[in-house]
């Protein structure tokens, strides 16, 4: 059944309040739309954790910097609703920009520390935009559970910190990265890629897999593990923004000469043409990435 679409914050709040009055546990899945199997996997988790699911589809302007892809970001509401239909989602919230940021809007939620490195240093203000819109969604929906993907690993950590610091009454559930059969992490931005660039995009997951293979072979030197990823990716992309080896909880980069204790985050951001892609894995925690050789 095609889900009910709500466009006003007042109606969304009223419907979520009504669900709670019926003792239903509200689950939230925030997205920017152009839905793919990665997004739908979040919904599977939401369905297991709640009995009233709200999916939001909003391309949030405040998390895009000047010159980024806000204007060309894919907006495919009708197709998205078709994809959601078999899931029996209770509500889709698809507000206008003005509904979320009316004239005179002037508040920003800023999470310090975790937002400094990785994408934070490359996309100034990005995580302020994310933290602000997610806080607004939490306040409007009042979810008992909200689901976020590990594809955006830094974002997930920022949201967990926000919830902890502000004592927000919501459980954060995290979803593993869903990949294409050749290993490429699913992303709405993959739609931008030309066929040759889509081919080259495999370098990111292959770089992570190279680090995984070395780790599985017993290597524990941070510099060597990171370098395995760099060597695989750097030649294949137009610009390697970063390959960072960091503590998976604090996101503080690990010194090259350190030995990994139990877990190590390897996170990559790279550009192919005009498209910026990110990917990551936590060595010692995430499953082996399947990369087809064809
Ligand atoms: P987005 O629409 O890109 O803002 O993503 C919405 C949510 O879906 C975020 O929590 C993302 O981390 C998650 N997500 C996006 N792609 C994937 C993927 N390939 N696997 C798992 N989660 C994903």
Distance, CA of 205 to CA of 184 (rounded, Å): 6
75-99 core/surface letters (b: 16 or more CB in 10 A; e: else): eeeeebbebbeebebbbbbbbeeee
Ligand 1 center–CA 151 separation, angstroms:
6
Distance, CA of 75 to CA of 34 (rounded, Å): 6
C-beta of 59 in contact with ligand 1 (< 6 A): no
Q: What does R_g of the chain's alpha carbons equal in angstroms?
A: 19
C-beta of 184 in contact with ligand 1 (< 6 A): no
Cβ atoms of residues 280 and 157 within 8 Å: no
What is the tens place of the pLDDT at every residue in 59-82? 999 999 999 999 999 999 999 999
Distance, CA of 197 to CA of 260 (rounded, Å): 33
Of 42, 51, 45, 40, give the one whose Cα is nearest residue 16. 51
What atom of ligand 1 comes closest to residue 35's alpha carbon?
Answer: 2
Q: Which helix (H) or strand (E) holds 230?
A: helix 222-233
Distance, CA of 27 to CA of 217 (rounded, Å): 41
Active site residues: 39
Ligand 1 center–CA 114 separation, angstroms:
19
Q: What is the pLDDT of residue 292?
A: 82
Residue identifier of the C-alpha nearest atom 18 of ligand 1: 38
Q: Across residues 83-104, what is the average pLDDT?
A: 97
Distance between the two ends of the chain, CA-based, in angstroms? 38
Question: In which residue are the tokens 């989602």 written?
Answer: 89
pLDDT, mean over the chain: 97
What is the tens place of the pLDDT at every residue in 245-278? 999 999 999 999 999 989 999 999 999 999 999 9
Ligand 1 center–CA 221 separation, angstroms:
30
Question: In which residue are the tokens 């007042």 written?
Answer: 10
pTM of the full structure: 0.98
In this structure, the dihedral spanned by the alpha carbons of residues 291, 69, 161 and 166, taken in order and rounded to 10 degrees, is -150
C-beta of 174 in contact with ligand 1 (< 6 A): no
Q: What is the pLDDT of residue 261?
A: 87
Mutate to test the pocket of ligand 1, among 30, 42, 154 (most ligand atoms within 8 A of CB): 42
What atom of ligand 1 comes closest to residue 39's alpha carbon?
Answer: 8
Distance, CA of 87 to CA of 73 (rounded, Å): 25
The pLDDT of residue 294 is above 80: no
Q: What is the pLDDT of residue 15?
A: 98
Distance, CA of 228 to CA of 213 (rounded, Å): 9
């Amino acid at each position: 059944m095609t889900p009910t679409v709500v466009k006003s914050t007042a109606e969304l709040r009223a419907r979520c309040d009504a669900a709670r009055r019926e003792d239903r546990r509200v689950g939230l899945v925030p997205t920017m739309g152009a839905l793919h199997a990665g997004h739908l996997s979040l919904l599977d988790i939401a369905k297991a954790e709640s009995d009233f699911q709200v999916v939001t589809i909003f391309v949030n302007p405040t998390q895009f910097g000047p010159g980024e892809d806000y204007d060309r970001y894919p907006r495919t509401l009708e197709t998205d609703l078709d994809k959601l239909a078999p899931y029996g989602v209770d509500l889709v919230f698809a507000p206008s920009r003005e509904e979320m940021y009316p004239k005179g809007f002037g508040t920003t939620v800023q999470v310090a520390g975790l937002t400094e490195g990785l994408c934070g240093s490359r996309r100034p203000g990005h995580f302020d935009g994310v933290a602000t819109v997610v806080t607004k969604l939490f306040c409007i929906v009042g979810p008992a559970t909200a689901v976020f993907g590990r594809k955006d690993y830094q974002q997930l950590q920022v949201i967990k910190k926000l919830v902890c610091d502000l004592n927000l009454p919501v459980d954060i559930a995290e979803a593993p990265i869903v990949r294409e059969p050749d290993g490429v992490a699913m992303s709405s931005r993959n739609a931008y890629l030309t066929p040759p660039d889509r081919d080259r995009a495999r370098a990111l997951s292959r770089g992570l897999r190279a680090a995984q293979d070395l780790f599985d072979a017993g290597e524990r030197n941070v510099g060597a593990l990171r370098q395995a990823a760099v060597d695989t990716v750097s030649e294949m992309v137009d610009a390697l923004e970063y390959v960072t080896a960091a503590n998976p909880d604090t996101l503080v980069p690990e010194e090259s000469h350190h030995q990994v204790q139990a877990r190590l985050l390897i996170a990559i951001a790279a550009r192919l043409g005009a498209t910026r892609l990110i990917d990551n894995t936590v060595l010692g925690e995430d499953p082996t990435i399947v990369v087809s050789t064809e």
